[in-house]
Structure 1
Amino acid sequence: MSRWEPNARGRLEQAALELYIERGFEQTTVAEIAKQAGLTERTFFRHFADKREVLFWGAGALRELLVSTVADAPESAAPIDAIAAALEATGGLFQERRESVLRRQSIIAANAELRERELIKLATLASAMAEALRRRGVTDPAASLAAEAGIAVFRIAFERWVTDTDQRDLSHHIRESLVELKTVLADR
């Protein structure tokens, strides 16, 4: 094999997803992923800390997008509206990778350890957005409540998007779920 492999990360991710779906996450080894991608285990570990990271490596970029969108929201925006803008900004990221995201989600849904890891990721995103709101001058508990509510909206919207036979985009489901939340909060 040559020293430089084009799109090694993408090839490893693709190979891992294929193997996780075919054989199951637990039954797939790093060696098998590397072999399927035509790469070495060493190359795998240059890109991913372990085989779970293949499924979660994009969390950092997602966090940055959410935090920067909250930070850039108009000063007049209510905390939940800044969070809503951040969530809607994620729609394009997920939409352009829809097939890969759907495959990833089916793998996570089939494994308790991965579902737990996904919940930890979502909690981390909520904390990051709450901190971004605090930097905007929003005090607690409002910052934490808005961020946690936003993550709840995202989870519901994502579940709807994954199962949507009409294939409406994620942003549509985020807006729809946010309207539902506001309706629930307004009902007395």
Structure 2
Amino acid sequence: MSRWEPDARGRLERAALELYSERGFEQTTAAQIAERAGLSERTFFRHYADKREVLFGGAHLLEGAFVETLAAVPSAVAPIDAMGLTLEAVSAFFADRHDFARQRQAVIAANVELQERELIKLASLSAALAKTLRGRGVSDAAASLAAEAGIAVFKVGFERWVRDGSRSLASFLREALLELRVVVGPSR
């Protein structure tokens, strides 16, 4: 193996998904992932703390995109509308990643430990969004509710998009937000 390999993270990510899909998460080792990627096990651990993190390594980038986008929405926009605009903008993060997302979700769905890690990621994202909303002057309760509602919309829209990639993620997110508005109903 050469000392420097281009796109090591991407290669490890692809190799891990292939192996998790073929053998299952539990039966796959970091050494096997590195070997499939044509890299050393040491290189694997330079990029990831453990084999779970291959599936969650981009979580901080996603959270950053959500927070930065939400922070840039004018403060006059209602919290739930700000979340809607944020979801629409962040959907671009997933452009051309449908196959990866579908495969990743299948691996996560097959493993309770990974499902738990996914929920932790979403809870962390919700907390960051609520903090951002509070920074925009939204009350604690309203910020928490809007952030949780936004994450629920994201989760529902994302799951639908993973199952049916015939449309953009943004269209599924808009649809889920409209359904939330129907559930909540008009103010009384």
TM over 0.5: yes
Partner SS, residue 95 of structure 2: helix
CA–CA distance in structure 1, aligned partners of residues 74 and 115 of structure 2: 35
Contact conserved, 1:88 with 1:175, CA < 8 A, in 2?
yes
Q: Give the structure 1 partner of residue 79 of structure 2.
A: 79
Q: CA deviation at 1:83?
A: 1.1
Secondary structure in structure 1 of the residue aligned to 2:140: coil
The answer (yes or no) to whether the contact 2:126–2:151 under 8 Å persists in 1 is yes
Residue in structure 1 matched with residue 172 of structure 2 by the alignment: 173
**Is the aligned partner of 1:4 residue 2:12?**
no
Shift of 1:95: 2.6
The residue correspondences of 1:103-182 to structure 2 (distance < 5 A) are: 103-164=103-164, 167-182=166-181
Given that 2:34 and 2:41 are in contact with CA atoms closer than 8 Å, whether structure 1 keeps it comes out as: yes
Amino acid at match of 2:110: A
Deviation at 1:90, TM superposition (A): 2.1
**1:10-41 deviations in whole A, cap 9, x for unaligned?**
11111111000000000000010111111101
Q: What SS does the corresponding residue of 1:126 show, helix, strand or coil?
A: helix
Matched, 1:18 2:18: yes
CA contact (8 A) 1:70 1:86 kept: yes
Runs of 4+ in 1 over 3 A off after TM superposition: none
CA–CA distance in structure 2, aligned partners of residues 124 and 75 of structure 1: 23
Deviations 1:35-89 (A, max 9, x none): 1111101000011110000000110010001001110001210011111111112
Alpha-carbon distance, 1:114 to partner: 0.4
Deviations 1:101-152 (A, max 9, x none): 1111110011111011101100100000000001101111000000001101
Mean Cα displacement is larger for which, 31-40 or 85-94?
85-94
Q: Any gaps of 5 or more consecutive residues in structure 1?
A: none
Counterpart CA distance in 1 for 2:95 and 2:12 is 21
Partner amino acid, structure 2, of 1:186: G
Any stretches of 5+ residues in structure 2 without a counterpart? none
Q: Superposition RMSD on alpha carbons, in Å?
A: 1.1
Contact preservation (8 Å) 1:87, 1:154: yes
Counterpart AA for 1:178: L
AA in 1 matched with 2:120: I
Task: Give the Cα–Cα distance (whole angstroms) in 1 for the partners of residues 16 and 160 of structure 2.
Answer: 25
CA apart distance, 1:162: 1.2
1:90 counterpart residue number: 90
Instruction: State how far apart, in whole Å, the 1-side matches of 2:61 and 2:158 are.
Output: 18
Letter in 1 for 2:47: H
Partner Cα separation in structure 2 for residue 162 and residue 7 of structure 1? 25
Letter matched to residue 36 of structure 1: R
How many residues are treated as equivalent by the alignment? 187
TM-score (structure 1 length as normaliser) = 0.96
Tell me the residue number matched to 1:62.
Answer: 62
What percent of counterpart residues are identical?
Answer: 63
